[in-house]
Homo-oligomer: A and B are copies of this chain.
Amino acid sequence: MTSVTSLFASVDTDLCLLTENLKNLVGARHPILYAAAEYLFGAGGKRIRPAIVLLISRATMLDQDITPRHRRLAEITEMIHTASLVHDDVVDEAEVRRSVPTVNSLFNNRVAVLAGDFLFGQSAWYLANLGNLEVVKLLSEVIKDMAEGEIQQGLSRFDTTITIETYLEKTYNKTASLIANSAKAAGLLSGVPIEFAEKLYNYGRHIGLAFQIVDDILDFTASTEVLGKPAGSDLVSGNLTAPVLYALEEKPYLEVLIEREFAQPEDLEQALALVKESQGIERSRKLAAYHAQLATENLTDLKPSECSKALVDMAEYVLSRMY
């Protein structure tokens, strides 16, 4: 099994620098923000998004060093991601993430809304000041998609009529759009041709989908300890993911439990059991594997290098998490 550490070895120094920069960029203005930044960009985050940006940057620059713009793009990517996490936790009323209290529970909703807006605001500004209109368009598309995904998820809670296609669309908006567009942007900053950049987009899109599907599976199969948040929390909050949507095809009673929002005692336990008894988990694993496979097929234009190998291995690593 591939570990994240070995996967990211070739951009390890870059990632350390990124974390320091993010703490300074965000925390410089106010002590409370500094505390939030220390906490948000400190231990716990896997930094998968900036790692992919940095790996693609290095894999496309080859012998040349990556530019300050590549680094800034990686930072922006992580800032946008973190901003969305902070607001998601307000929306979901989540109390724990990565085994630490969320900003809304540690401080309050007020500070969490402020901190998220601040991060979005800072990223929009750093983005514009990258000075590349094409990259600005790609990343602003992400900000739009993430907000749309947040709406799609937030306003269709406990809705058992949503399809796997709708789920994938929402998952693209919430998770894969950021990875896809920033992967493409990293390529553009290296000056790759547009067809090559499109493949990098598709790599990001499929690895992002695979990644999120695996996360959604783990919400059913992993322990609270491993997850760093209560297991089954998607289901509790009415966020119906691939395993549930597949399970609904086999277990009609699941619909009853979900639609009454687990109002009766034992409803949640029963629902979790029904998902586990069904083919839902297995079918979701196949779906994740399918997207991980599609991801790697888009890397054929990359010249062999340590970084391009890490991008291929990433697909394997994503899947390895689900067993």
Using a CB–CB cutoff of 8 Å, the interface residues on chain A facing chain B are 29-30, 32-33, 87, 90-91, 93, 109-111, 113-114, 116-118, 120-122, 124-125, 127-129, 131, 133, 136-137, 140-141, 143-148, 150-152, 154-155
Contact = CB atoms under 8 A, between A and B. Distances in A.
Given A124-B143, A125-B140, A133-B131, A151 B118 contact: yes
A117 B93 CA distance: 16
A90 B148 CA distance: 20
B137 A128 contact: yes
Chain B CB within 10 Å — which of A93, A120, A147 has the most?
Answer: A147
Given A91-B113, A114-B155, A147 B122 contact: yes
A120 B143 contact: yes
Given A120-B147, A147-B121, A140 B127 contact: yes
A299 to B, nearest CB: 28
Given A109-B109, A151-B30, A154-B110, A140 B117 contact: no
A125 B141 contact: yes
B109 A147 contact: no
3 shortest A-B CB distances, which residue pairs?
A: A121-B147, A128-B140, A125-B144
A128 B118 contact: no
A64 B183 CA distance: 42
Contacts of A148: 29, 118, 121
Contact of A110 (B91, B141, B146): B91
14 contacts: A30-B152, A30-B155, A32-B155, A91-B110, A91-B113, A93-B110, A113-B113, A117-B146, A118-B148, A128-B133, A128-B136, A128-B137, A129-B140, A133-B136
A114 B30 contact: no
**Which of A29, A91, A111, A114 has most B Cβ within 10 Å?**
A114
Contacts of A91: 110, 113-114
B151 A125 contact: no
A120 B148 CA distance: 11
Contacts of A110: 90-91, 93, 154
